[in-house]
């Protein structure tokens, strides 16, 4: 099973925010828990982050096509 992940750089690009803003967003209690923490930092499952975006940033939500990410 292939799992698609977002790291901080991918979140920065996906949300179109600064690195500092990614830290703020990922620290929110309603943001998904990281899937794992690696030497390079935390990583999140794309589907968890996209669900959060759909709920909290609907103007940035994408269609149901996960290949659009």
Model's pTM, two decimal places? 0.83
Q: Is 6 helix (H, G, I), strand (E, B) or coil?
A: strand
Q: Is 37 helix (H, G, I), strand (E, B) or coil?
A: strand
Tokens found for residue 8: 């901080």
Reply yes or no on whether the pLDDT at 1 is more than 80. Answer: no
CA 21 to CA 36: how far, in whole Å? 20
pLDDT in tens, 23-51: 999 999 999 999 999 999 999 999 999 99
Nearest to 14 by CA among 29, 25, 1, 3: 25
Query: pLDDT exceeding 70 applies to what percent of the chain?
Result: 87
Domain ranges of the chain: 5-61
The partner residues of 42 in beta bridges, in order of sequence, read: 37
């Amino acid at each position: 099973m292939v799992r698609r992940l977002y790291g901080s750089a991918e979140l920065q690009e996906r949300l179109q925010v600064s690195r500092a803003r990614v830290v703020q967003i990922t620290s929110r209690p309603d943001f998904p828990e990281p899937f794992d923490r690696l030497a390079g930092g935390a990583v999140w499952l794309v589907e968890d982050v996209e669900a959060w975006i759909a709920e909290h940033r609907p103007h940035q939500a994408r269609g149901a096509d996960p290949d659009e990410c």
